[in-house]
Amino acid sequence: MTLAVHAAMRRLRATVARIDPAPKLSAFRRDDAGNASMTGLMLVFVLALIGGLSLDHARGVSARAEAQAVADAAARAAAMRLRDGEEAALDAAAEVAGFHRAGLLNRDEITFLSYTEDGFRPASAADGGTPDSVSVVTRRSAANNNPLNTVLLHLSGVDALNVSGRAIAGTRGSGRFLHCSGGGFFAAGRAVGNSSNDYTDGFCLHGEQGVQIHNQNRFETGTVVSMPDLGDFQRHNNNPGADEALREMGYDITLPGQIPAMIAALRAGSPQDMDLPEFVTFGPIHRDRIRSNENLLRDTLFVVDGDVELRGGRHFENIAIVASGDISVAANVVLDNVILAAQGRLEFNSNVRIGGTEADYCSRGAYGAYLLGGEGVRFNSNNELRGVLVVSGGDIRFNSNNRATSGVYAEAAGDIHYNSRQQLRGCLPGLEDAFTGREAETAGPVALLR
């Protein structure tokens, strides 16, 4: 598109150079008013053409962005259906692309690939291969009968612009993509961390709109720092291992959008209807609210039409609470084998221990806590989280000096902010998700590489 604009400008200069005004404009040669009129006309013409060039360029940039967005969406859709066969993947890509804009995607520009040590290779099941990735190319071009017609560039011989987008999406088994069974932070917005944090045991850090870290962070081999555009990575000084951990890729953040449906199902059903984790077997018990001094039965699902306050200095185990308001947890509380789901916010004070212990959080094989906040999740200082799944319809914020962040998988529809001096550890064997339906062996269905 840029080359076309430059070519148009060259043609304009050549055209102007060839203009011979002698036959009809000789009367103006000794007429100042005529000269002024001719100059004005030429100036109007040039300004109009420059404005047209700018307009065509802007339209081309917009069309290119649309083509890329549709390629991203179609590639993701195809990869998610790859397990059902190549025809199902082709149908999924075509359906998504057609929904956005008909004609951008031809099925013959969908390619099945396999990632090897030497890079991507064509791999079709029809040829005996085992594809694990899908490449999609979208176009506005004459070949697709949908070129982007120009507004004024056609005056210089450029009648249409050709733009395209390309994306590759792969299942988590493909070697180029994220392996995040160990856990991590995944933000639809930005992932922003402070200084002196250690990232170990396969921990992944992802921000769809970028990642920012400060000083003295250490990334162990096998950890991942990812975002769709590495130009959105910001860091300060002395972060060993960060360059090796960097990946340019997108990530499907799906759980925040499921919070309303999960809360509605909890409010309407029973533990058996919901197929809840085995630590919840009774209920539901309906309450207007839960106050801080109430005793709660073990193994029970509580449905609350209001706020919930869990008083400090207590141990809550084998329990599920869903609230139409906020859930707040005071200081010095232990939460083990719990589900806390709030349509509002989840708030945790200081010195709260959530999930398993240092010795058993990973060997349990399943998450010890599920925390869902429709409007956000916030942790204060000096907390311990081990084997915990956190989902937020807004931001997730971790305050200072978390004593443990191990085997934690967190998705946020907004940003994820966390402070300094944390040990961000994974659980490499992976943890079973017995509640949200997220696949146990992976951190999501597909990863995206442009």
Structural domain boundaries of the chain?
2-171, 184-449
pLDDT tens figures, 6-28:
454 455 444 434 444 444 444 44
Reported as a single tens digit per residue, the pLDDT across 394-422 is 999 998 788 899 999 999 999 999 999 89
* Residues of the chain scoring pLDDT < 70: 1-38, 40-53, 116-119, 152-156, 171-179, 181, 437-450
* pLDDT number for residue 44: 60
pLDDT attached to residue 287: 92
Note the pLDDT of residue 14.
47
**Encoded tokens for 19:** 């203009």
Residues 6+ apart with CB under 8 A from 43: none
3-state SS string for the chain? CHHHHHHHHHHHHHHHHHCCCHHHHHHHCCCHHHHHHHHHHHHHHHHHHHHHHHHHHHHHHHHHHHHHHHHHHHHHHHHHCHHHCHHHHHHHHHHHHHHHCCCCCCHHHEEEEEEECCEEEECCHHHCCCCCEEEEEEEECCCCCCCEECCCHHHHCCCEECEEEEEEEEECCCCCCCCCCCCEEEECCCEEECCCCEEECCCEEEECCCEEECCCCEECCCCEEEECCHHHEEECCCCCCHHHHEEECEECCCHHHHHHHHHHHHHHCCHHHHCCCCCCCEEEEEECCECCCCCCCCCEEEEECCCEEECCCCEEEEEEEEECCCEEECCCCEEEEEEEEECCEEEECCCCEEECCCCCCCCCCECCEEEEECCEEEECCCCEEEEEEEEECCCEEECCCCCEEEEEEEEECCCEEECCCCEEECCCCCCECCCCCCCCCCCCCEEEEC
Q: Which amino acid is at 428?
A: L
The answer to whether the beta carbons of residues 114 and 133 sit under 8 Å apart is yes
Prediction pTM value = 0.67
State pLDDT tens for residues 338-394: 999 999 999 999 999 999 999 999 998 899 999 999 999 999 999 999 999 999 999
User: pLDDT tens digits for 189-200?
Assistant: 999 999 999 999
Write down the pLDDT at residue 206: 94
CA distances for 143 relative to 107, 139, 147, 161, 300, angstroms: 13, 9, 8, 12, 62
Q: What is the pLDDT of residue 282?
A: 92
Give the residue from 133, 190, 202 showing the smallest Cα distance to 166: 133
